[in-house]
Amino acid sequence: MTVAARLLAISVAWIAIQIGSGYLTHRMPARWFRRDGWLFRCRGFERGGRLYRRVFRVHRWKDRLPEAGALFAGGFSKRRLAPNDAAGGSGVLERFVAETRRAELTHWLPVLLSLSFFLWNPPAIAAWMPPIGLLGNLPFIIVQRSNRPRLMALRRRIPG
């Protein structure tokens, strides 16, 4: 395979993995994201999401990231919580929290699927794919892990 053909194949594969991961998680039942499982639960070292604000300064750059939660029909945009959403009770917040879990999984899947590059690339090239997948998806994971504890705290304060 020529260098140009390999670069094109890798690029197309990454696009397919990213879009495919989004579509796959979009098709998963909402009930799968209603509770924190092993992957989604907040860890003590995250200090309720404050770690991401203090260490990564997530509040300074998170709004610059693209948000594709509503890309597929019936999706949910997590760009911002509208003032009326919180007034609507905890139901909207429950959905928002669940969608942060869905979005987090959407961005962990490409990291896992990056291992598939070992099936059709030389090891010296394939070895770069998991770090590239992690670096490309980590900002999105950080945003979800930063927002979820804050939304959960807000949900506990709102009746209904």
Distance CA 143, CA 160 (A): 26
Helix residue ranges per DSSP H, the chain:
3-27, 50-54, 58-61, 83-87, 90-113, 123-126, 129-157
CA 9 to centroid of chain Cα atoms: 24
pTM of the entire predicted model: 0.87
Going by the DSSP 8-state scheme, the letter that residue 42 receives in this structure is P
Q: Tens-digit pLDDT profile for the chain (160 aa)? A: 899 999 999 999 999 999 999 999 999 999 999 999 999 999 999 999 999 999 999 999 998 988 877 777 777 777 666 555 555 566 888 889 999 999 999 999 999 999 999 999 999 999 999 999 999 999 999 999 999 999 988 888 887 6
